[in-house]
Structure 1
């Protein structure tokens, strides 16, 4: 090949790399809001790699199974918070809803109610609390923070009135079926892939949420409200109805989370769910949903929940780190993602 041809080929190759980088840079700058979600995925993968190098037995199906099963309730809560935060709102009541729903469900099971009715009651209680929050916000124009703070205290107070002692499900209760372990892959030693009906229920919730948010008019309205509620109204979108709907969804999914968690532990008490609303919000924000609303992914919230769950696993494996560090590390990660969101928002503007 002549020198001129080689120079032409090199120039073409350099130009191709430049065009590729330019296209990648343009795609990133055009979709800056996706950066927090990408960051959460990178952090999750980095935690897996670190855990495998430092402690071993992280990259195996049994660890993945336990991570998903133990955090199925948090995934469901994070999905509900995704709907709310996408509209620019907040829901502080989900932890209390889990407490009151689980206690009433266990009490009904102890009284001999059929498992299906006890489970339905747990879910409907969550829906009622979500409806109360939604009415306060949509009809009476109460700030979401205040409205859901009120329902949080209401739920926690009612739970304390019901019982101040742990209440246990009867051993023969059908509610416990949701915690039944099904072996999908029989691996060597204890490295088995296990699923439970509770985990499968969480996966179904995620799939339905994906469909609603990305394939329905309601989902598009949720994003539009978060982007600009005034513009959404001018476009003739059902803003008021949708804002009511998202809080009902959040409350209902808190009831579903109560079913999953109660079945796994077999008990319920009035202190169940304390701080879970903050964990769910943290998972949603870490997953890339903007606190100002208008942008976010359900799958990002799932990754955020798994980041928090895996962090607990790594701290437990280490043994030398106090459990209290989980809260500190969560706060640090959340602060980083909030700052990243602020930077992204300013760059977009």
Structure 2
């Protein structure tokens, strides 16, 4: 009798512990939902079209979405503080066009790459100053930077600017094998992918292992309380926009090295993709809660969705925006439920 009761008691204890964990970590539910959706998409894609789990598909998913992952990381910092950055796509356009034109005029490729990052940092700095010291709403401040960067890119050139195929910066897009699979089924990455991984690791460390990261979360939770605790609120709010701008410049370097083309229309809508990836990954738009790894999952969800639509062939590519909007709506509603539960 006692032996039959023991397993039942263990199951009850396990369920009770799981329920308690869910209650205490309800903020993780959106991120877990993103993982479930990504897993379901992989299973469906493999069953319906095949070759989704092939190493070549995984390689293309990472290579094609490395710039999105980079800007989604920067967006995570901003949204955790309760802000928003609408300028990332336009900053990528201006950094890319100016960078390619400088390289074609004879500048050293790697000096230009650094300048592209600094251009992004400058736009981020201006946004941070407007938000922190002029009390401009983040939406308006970064919208102004978006129009400024897009306008400057159009002033520089309205036609595609092309890099030479042998330009040194294009080495960032060169493939090298990690796993040598059968036929063409190889796991390959590029230096651009490695840069994205390093950005994710560094951001994770900063957010979860440093005082700056704790201040970022504190600002999103309650800026007034963070100030009363003596945290460097002003400096940190400036830094999150500088980080977002710098990562936009870095994404421009990775993107330009892969395509070899820069246009003034590059990056249109990317700010919305970055916001969507961040929200799908579990970062609350109200601030205070967010995960870098969740934003990576969100970016991969969007990337895999494009792969599945392409594989299907019968779905209008324009449906991508409709599906993205539907997924985003679901996650916003889930966030509302999480926020209401936290207030309880």
Task: Answer yes or no: is the 8 Å Cα contact 1:103–1:269 preserved in 2.
Answer: yes
Q: Give the CA RMSD over aligned residues.
A: 0.6
Write the distance in 1 (CA, Å) between the matches of 2:334 and 2:170.
42
**What's the counterpart of residue 53 of structure 2?**
59
Write the distance in 2 (CA, Å) between the matches of 1:16 and 1:119.
58
Structure number with larger C-alpha Rg? 1
Match 1:226 to one of 220, 225, 234: 220
- CA shift digits 1:17-51 (9 cap, x unpaired): 11110010000011101000000000001000000
Task: Answer yes or no: is the 8 Å Cα contact 1:212–1:219 preserved in 2.
Answer: yes
The answer as to 2:29 corresponding to 1:24 is no
Write the distance in 1 (CA, Å) between the matches of 2:263 and 2:91.
12
Write the distance in 2 (CA, Å) between the matches of 1:50 and 1:65.
19
Q: Secondary structure at the match of 2:317?
A: coil
**What's the counterpart of residue 3 of structure 1?**
none
Write the distance in 1 (CA, Å) between the matches of 2:98 and 2:112.
8
Q: Secondary structure at the match of 1:71?
A: helix
Match 2:118 to one of 111, 118, 124: 124
Match 2:306 to one of 307, 312, 322: 312
TM-score with structure 1 setting the length = 0.97
**What's the counterpart of residue 14 of structure 1?**
8
Q: How far did 1:296 drift? A: 1.1
Q: Secondary structure at the match of 1:56?
A: coil
Write the distance in 1 (CA, Å) between the matches of 2:137 and 2:150.
20
The answer as to 2:152 corresponding to 1:161 is no
**What's the counterpart of residue 277 of structure 1?**
271
Write the distance in 2 (CA, Å) between the matches of 1:70 and 1:96.
19
Write the distance in 1 (CA, Å) between the matches of 2:174 and 2:282.
32
- CA shift digits 1:247-278 (9 cap, x unpaired): 00000000000000001100000000000000
Q: Secondary structure at the match of 1:274?
A: coil
Task: Answer yes or no: is the 8 Å Cα contact 1:109–1:170 preserved in 2.
Answer: no
**What's the counterpart of residue 35 of structure 2?**
41
**What's the counterpart of residue 144 of structure 1?**
138
Q: How far did 1:196 drift? A: 0.4
Match 2:338 to one of 333, 344, 348: 344
**What's the counterpart of residue 297 of structure 1?**
291
The answer as to 2:213 corresponding to 1:253 is no
Gaps of 5+ in 2: none
Gaps of 5+ in 1: 1-5
Write the distance in 1 (CA, Å) between the matches of 2:165 and 2:41.
38
Q: How far did 1:316 drift? A: 0.1
Write the distance in 1 (CA, Å) between the matches of 2:58 and 2:155.
38
Write the distance in 1 (CA, Å) between the matches of 2:114 and 2:14.
54
The answer as to 2:323 corresponding to 1:329 is yes
Write the distance in 1 (CA, Å) between the matches of 2:247 and 2:33.
26
Task: Answer yes or no: is the 8 Å Cα contact 1:99–1:155 preserved in 2.
Answer: yes
Aligned length: 343
**What's the counterpart of residue 62 of structure 2?**
68
Q: How far did 1:175 drift? A: 1.1
Match 2:281 to one of 267, 287, 291: 287
Write the distance in 2 (CA, Å) between the matches of 1:115 and 1:164.
22
Q: Secondary structure at the match of 2:208?
A: helix
Q: How far did 1:170 drift? A: 1.9
Write the distance in 2 (CA, Å) between the matches of 1:170 and 1:114.
13
Task: Map residues 170-181 of structure 1 onto 2, 5 A cutoff.
Answer: 170-181=164-175
